[in-house]
Structure 1
Amino acid sequence: MPLGDSAVRARAADPQGGWLETGTGRPRAPGAAGEQLQEQQEAWRDAGLVLSTTSNEACKLFDAALTQYATWTNDESLGGIEGCLSKLKAADPNFTMGHVIANGLELVGTGSSVRLDKELDRAMRTMVALSESQPLTEREKLHVSALDMFARGQLPEACDLWEQILQRHPTDLLALKFSHDTYFYLGYQVQMRDSVARVYPFWTPDVPLSSYVKGYYSFGLVETNFFDRAEEVAREALAVNQTDAWSVHTIAHVNEMKADVKKGLEFMKETETNWKNSDMLACHNYWHWALYFIEKGEYEAALTIYDNHIAPRCLASGSMLDVVDNCSMLYRLHLEGVKLGDRWKDVLALTKKHTKDHILLFNDVHFLMSSLGAKDHTTTQELLTTLQELAKAPCEDHQLSLAPSLGLPLCQAFVEFENGNCDKAVDLLYPIRYQLIQLGGSNAQRDVFSQLLIHAALNSKSQAKRNLARCLLRERDGVRPNSPMTERLIRKAAAIHSMA
């Protein structure tokens, strides 16, 4: 997907052989290598973002990798993010910020862990050693420290350091994007919104990629229930660049949270050609599209999107976002009583290898959905047992510290529900429902936990819990008026009550 008219295209070279200026997308006039180097360094310095390297090529490749990360797409003409990072390391093996972006994209972008990946652990150690052996700027030192904190599982502390960077360097896009993604993992919705709000005035239209920052801000707004403002900002971003799949995604969230199914379906259909080639986000946007059909009770339409777009993209990418979407969609259909055939087995093939990872609890519970759906009791037990063992040991990892109070009860609630023990599932899930935001994800993604609680209460043997189900449905109806799904469940609750 092209990066868009307003975005920076940091090419390695233009067709005439002249370099493109970092951060501008304008062809550089041919000149001596020394002149090009000087211009390159001045461009970063003028932006207040000094890069400590003598390599002109390394600066450009850093820009190219950052641009693709910021815009949620791999530009194949640049070799994608992986290709850029490989060339970046070759251009200057001692470029500390080159190591920061490479390790950060592995840790923050893909959900890897130094606990599981020895090569990544070595890469992090190399980065820290390099930073201690070089005269870096304070900003670069903070980047190294923040990533080191993240690698240790100290996510809130990492965000604090990125915020220190942004206070002095509000256009540091790497700090902004790393903190934005990490706040998402933490479920820190207000912080995710306000982190962007604090720097938003500095991202004027003349600053490259500023329209994408509008997209980040709009997502923070929708997650804190400022729906109208969120849509307004997202549409401002799309007016600049209609291929901005993240801003499309914000509007999908707005329509989802309002249960405005008609508007949601129309919007996704109208914009599909603009975002379907965004390799990092297309699967997720199709997931949102399918949710509207599930909301309407049009299950075959949802499965058509799943079979044609979600499952194939998930299989091709293997990305955690796509895998989680895959599990979440099938489980929602399962709750609705839809027969899924062998689809769970296909998903299990992707999730099974991550059963013992336990990097993010949010991911763990989605992997559990797949093993439960496929009725793989061995894998289910392995996931629970290994998580229980990790949760016993004191550790500084923020996610694992939540396992005893949130992660394990949530996982066990899914197991009890699948075993027909609906009363037990409610007993586990109801007391922690307001704390589940700490596991991260969006309001739309976590809604599957709310749906599970309602279905468990509806199918409970206890009259008190069936009464609770009706209370939960009234609550849901107040937040999402005119929701077809809520109306279906209210009718089901009434039928159960009449039979009692």
Structure 2
Amino acid sequence: MNVSSFRDCQAWRAEGLPLSTTSNEACKLFDATLTQYVKWTNDETLGGIEGCISAMKKADPNFVMGHVISTGLELVSTTSSPRLDERLASAVRRTVELANAQDVSPREKLHVKAVELFSRGNFPKACEVWEDILLDHPTDFLALKFAHDGYFYMGAQGLLRDSVARVLPHWKPHMPLYSYLKGLYSFGLLETRFYDQALKEAMEGLSLTPEDAWSVHSVAHVHEMKAEVDEGLKFMESREKDWQVSDMLASHNYWHWALYFMEKGQYESALQIYDTQVFKRCKASGAMLDIVDACSMLWRLEMEGVCVKDRWRELLHVTQPHTDDHVTVFNDLHFLMVSLGAKETETARRLLEGLQELAKEPGDNQQHQVAGSVGVSVCEAMMEYGQGNYSRAVELLYPLRYSVVDIGGSDAQRDLFSQLLIHAAIKSESTRHQKLGRCLLVERDSARPRSPLTRRLMQKALALHH
């Protein structure tokens, strides 16, 4: 493992971001971990993120920021709940204890506080603390990226954009990881519908760093949101060699590629991507982004009338162990798709009841608050839809259509719920719902002209209602 090119104690001090450790090795490994997080890539020559973290803990077992990044990364991955996972809960406690026992800087203390708040599900407060750090230290990429993840999980679209916009003037092109700010900023821009500007930023990022998978991902979103299907397909294919190396984002970029095929009604091509990339990768990585993409793909295909056969059952093995996690509502809704798709009624009921229970007394857990305002009803709507009770599904979903953003994720990911409402409305026996379905399609068409999916649904509505 050669980390010699990364920043040592002195280099971090020179950037105004001193780290409380005397170990140069620990500082370099911290930088190596941060770099892989920003690039969405486990660099095997460094031993990947896990290898760097364990080497960093060996180099200085009491290095507070080492604990912040390792525990923080596990928390923002949302793959396990500190509520249930005692090992993760004790890692949070250990981080707090180490910080209290040492004379660390105010910035490092705030980092610890943010991680602790995030572990309790208090995402808004955690993000406020990360912003507090950025006010004095705008080049603290860890604070910026953790905040970005927090905003993403809250569906806080304006903040996704503005958090990056605020720090941009303080960054100079010679600084490490500078080019990756472009993709971050681009993503916030496209989630607030500034598609042209988002495209410009992402392409600038790619001209500096062609393998920046997050900038590629931003371009994929722009084409998706504008229903520029052929442009999207061409772009993903022409850049595949560049973005494939980002193991943490490759599956998600393949998912975007598959969305274009689904949009065109080319279901076989989409299923091929599912089988050879999305499912294969999610099974191997166990990463939450990979898992929810697999869930989302199968549910979208089934809504379109495609038979996905025993794929639900295979995916259930991956999602079922997460039934009681309830880390984010977004994840829960995706797990529910699988138990419904696999006709695993008991697992579906257990997930819903667990979520209802937590929503009763959410405390300061923002996700459990969202479960009460949005999550439980969307779960119920999906269950009704699965049972063929389409009018009940519409009654539950329609009032929430402008609140679904609160479950987090991106517009492209949440589009599944818009599609669900449309499918339920046009299949409902209520003529008012059918009319509503047609209205929603007109509205969809005006927002994304040239969408083959919208046209297919319009034809379906006409066929059903005449």
> What band does the TM-score fall into relative to the shorter chain?
over 0.9
Q: Tell me how far 1:479 sits from its aligned partner.
A: 0.4
Distance of aligned partners of 1:345 and 1:206 in 2 relative to their CA distance in 1, 3 Å threshold? same
Q: Give yes or no for the alignment of 1:20 onto 2:5.
A: yes
User: Deviation string for 1:453-475 (max 9, x for gaps)?
Assistant: 00000000000000000110011
Where in structure 2 are there 5+ consecutive unaligned residues? none
Q: Tell me how far 1:278 sits from its aligned partner.
A: 1.2
1:347 is paired with a residue of what secondary structure?
helix
Q: Tell me how far 1:384 sits from its aligned partner.
A: 1.1
Q: How does 1:362-381 map to 2 (within 5 A)?
A: 362-381=330-349
- Whichever residue aligns with residue 444 of structure 1, its letter is A
TM-score (norm 1): 0.92
Match of 1:464 in 2: 432
Match of 1:216 in 2: 184
Q: Give yes or no for the alignment of 1:416 onto 2:406.
A: no
2:368 is paired with a residue of what secondary structure?
helix
Q: Tell me how far 1:268 sits from its aligned partner.
A: 0.7
Q: Give yes or no for the alignment of 1:43 onto 2:11.
A: yes
Match of 1:257 in 2: 225
Q: Give yes or no for the alignment of 1:74 onto 2:48.
A: no
Distance 1:279 1:364 in 2: 24
Give the conservation status (yes or no) of the 8 Å contact 1:459–1:466: yes
Match of 1:26 in 2: none
Q: Tell me how far 1:113 sits from its aligned partner.
A: 2.3
Q: How does 1:9-408 map to 2 (within 5 A)?
A: 12-13=2-3, 19-22=4-7, 40-408=8-376
Give the conservation status (yes or no) of the 8 Å contact 2:340–2:383: yes
Which segment drifts farther, 303-312 or 467-476?
303-312
Where in structure 1 are there 5+ consecutive unaligned residues? 1-10, 14-18, 23-39
User: Deviation string for 1:173-201 (max 9, x for gaps)?
Assistant: 00000000100000001001000000012
Distance 2:278 2:411 in 1: 20
Q: Tell me how far 1:277 sits from its aligned partner.
A: 2.1
- Whichever residue aligns with residue 418 of structure 2, its letter is S
Distance 1:491 1:69 in 2: 45
Distance 1:84 1:394 in 2: 36
Q: Tell me how far 1:382 sits from its aligned partner.
A: 1.2
Distance of aligned partners of 1:394 and 1:294 in 2 relative to their CA distance in 1, 3 Å threshold? closer
Q: Tell me how far 1:94 sits from its aligned partner.
A: 1.1
Distance of aligned partners of 1:485 and 1:334 in 2 relative to their CA distance in 1, 3 Å threshold? same
Q: Tell me how far 1:110 sits from its aligned partner.
A: 4.1
Distance 2:90 2:414 in 1: 35
User: Deviation string for 1:325-351 (max 9, x for gaps)?
Assistant: 000000000000001111110110100
Q: Tell me how far 1:134 sits from its aligned partner.
A: 1.1
- Whichever residue aligns with residue 88 of structure 1, its letter is M
Give the conservation status (yes or no) of the 8 Å contact 1:12–1:60: no
TM-score (norm 2): 0.98
Distance 1:394 1:463 in 2: 38
- Whichever residue aligns with residue 374 of structure 1, its letter is A
Give the conservation status (yes or no) of the 8 Å contact 1:12–1:61: no
Distance 1:496 1:374 in 2: 27
Q: Tell me how far 1:241 sits from its aligned partner.
A: 1.0
Distance 2:31 2:80 in 1: 23
Match of 1:453 in 2: 421
Distance 1:329 1:452 in 2: 13
Q: Tell me how far 1:284 sits from its aligned partner.
A: 0.3
Match of 1:493 in 2: 461
Distance 2:255 2:416 in 1: 13
Give the conservation status (yes or no) of the 8 Å contact 1:150–1:158: yes
Give the conservation status (yes or no) of the 8 Å contact 1:293–1:301: yes
Match of 1:30 in 2: none
Give the conservation status (yes or no) of the 8 Å contact 2:186–2:198: yes
Q: Give yes or no for the alignment of 1:480 onto 2:465.
A: no
- Whichever residue aligns with residue 200 of structure 1, its letter is L
User: Deviation string for 1:43-101 (max 9, x for gaps)?
Assistant: 11110101010111100110000000011000011110011001111111111111100
Distance 2:299 2:334 in 1: 9
Give the conservation status (yes or no) of the 8 Å contact 2:211–2:243: yes
Q: Tell me how far 1:379 sits from its aligned partner.
A: 0.9
Q: Percent identity at matched positions?
A: 59
Give the conservation status (yes or no) of the 8 Å contact 2:2–2:45: no
Rg larger in structure? 1
Give the conservation status (yes or no) of the 8 Å contact 2:359–2:368: yes
1:402 is paired with a residue of what secondary structure?
helix
Distance of aligned partners of 1:318 and 1:394 in 2 relative to their CA distance in 1, 3 Å threshold? closer
Which segment drifts farther, 107-116 or 277-286?
107-116
Give the conservation status (yes or no) of the 8 Å contact 2:9–2:23: no
- The CA RMSD over aligned residues, in Å, is 1.0
Distance 1:86 1:116 in 2: 23
Distance 1:438 1:178 in 2: 18
Aligned length: 466
Distance of aligned partners of 1:394 and 1:211 in 2 relative to their CA distance in 1, 3 Å threshold? closer
- Whichever residue aligns with residue 12 of structure 1, its letter is N
User: Deviation string for 1:319-376 (max 9, x for gaps)?
Assistant: 1100000000000000000011111101101000001111100000100000111111
Distance 2:44 2:347 in 1: 37
Give the conservation status (yes or no) of the 8 Å contact 1:335–1:455: yes
Distance 1:190 1:389 in 2: 31
Give the conservation status (yes or no) of the 8 Å contact 2:362–2:368: no
